[in-house]
């Protein structure tokens, strides 16, 4: 099953996979629709983009909920980024493998086929992480919230995007500050930038 906000990308990905004998049983352009398909179609695998700017639900939250609803589901996460932060967040959310959207057709097919064949070993993300700088020991939720903070979201906006209360956001943010050794939003965003955990521009004058 495929998830991405752009239908043309879904169609192209379906064509690539189908040409290699991998059957696509459903396509969704929203996380809510994807989760409904996971329950109704019971697919063996989910190939999902983690960037869903037009949706209320965060992409990593969608992966986590899909994993909860179908523990045996194999998940390949796609992202426009390829850095330790996104690898960590995808792995912690339940992804079995991770691919940047710059990957070629052969790599995509090989990764999806390998993921489907390997069951729930979840080796794809962990193997890539072995050669990456060790990220801070944040939980998946803390990683998501700090990343959204770096992108300029307010606590209320983050709460709405992750479907939690603003008090939950404040709680996780406080824990993240403590673990990162910072005391405010600007310092947290700067930490991601300075440690190569985000490609986002950060105002370093503050």
Q: What is the CATH number of the domain that holds 108?
A: 3.40.50.2300
Band the pLDDT of 189: cuts 50, 70, 90: confident
Domain range for 49: 2-130
pLDDT above 80 for 96: yes
97-100 vs 74-79, strand pairing mode = parallel
For residues 29 and 92, state if they share a domain. yes
Band the pLDDT of 121: cuts 50, 70, 90: very low
Can you spell out the DSSP letters for 158-196? HHHHHTS-HHHHHHHHHHHHHHHT--SHHHHHHHHHHTT
For residues 120 and 168, state if they share a domain. no
pLDDT above 70 for 129: no
For residues 111 and 33, state if they share a domain. yes
Residue 199 lies in a domain: no
Q: Which range has the worst mean pLDDT, 54-63, 78-87, 126-135? A: 126-135
Query: What's the structural domain count of the chain?
Result: 2
pTM: 0.66
For residues 126 and 159, state if they share a domain. no
Mean pLDDT on 62-74: 92
pLDDT above 60 for 120: no
């Amino acid at each position: 099953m495929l998830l991405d906000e752009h239908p043309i990308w879904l169609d192209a990905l379906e064509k690539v996979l189908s040409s290699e004998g991998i059957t696509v049983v459903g396509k969704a352009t929203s996380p809510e629709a994807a989760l409904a398909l996971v329950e109704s179609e019971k697919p063996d695998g989910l190939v999902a983009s983690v960037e869903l700017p037009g949706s209320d639900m965060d992409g990593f939250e969608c992966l986590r909920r899909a994993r909860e609803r179908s523990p045996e589901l194999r998940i390949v996460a796609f992202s426009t980024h390829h850095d330790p932060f996104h690898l960590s967040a995808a792995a912690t959310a339940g992804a079995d493998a991770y691919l940047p959207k710059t990957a070629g057709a052969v790599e995509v097919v090989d990764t999806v086929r390998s993921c489907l064949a390997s069951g729930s070993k979840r080796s794809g993300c962990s193997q890539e992480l072995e050669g990456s700088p060790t990220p801070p020991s944040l939980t998946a939720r803390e990683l998501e919230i700090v990343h959204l903070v770096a992108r300029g979201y307010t606590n209320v906006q983050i709460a709405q995007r992750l479907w939690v209360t603003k008090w939950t956001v404040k709680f996780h943010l406080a824990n993240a500050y403590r673990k990162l050794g910072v005391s405010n939003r600007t310092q947290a965003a700067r930490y991601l930038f300075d440690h190569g955990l985000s490609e986002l521009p950060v105002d370093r004058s503050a």
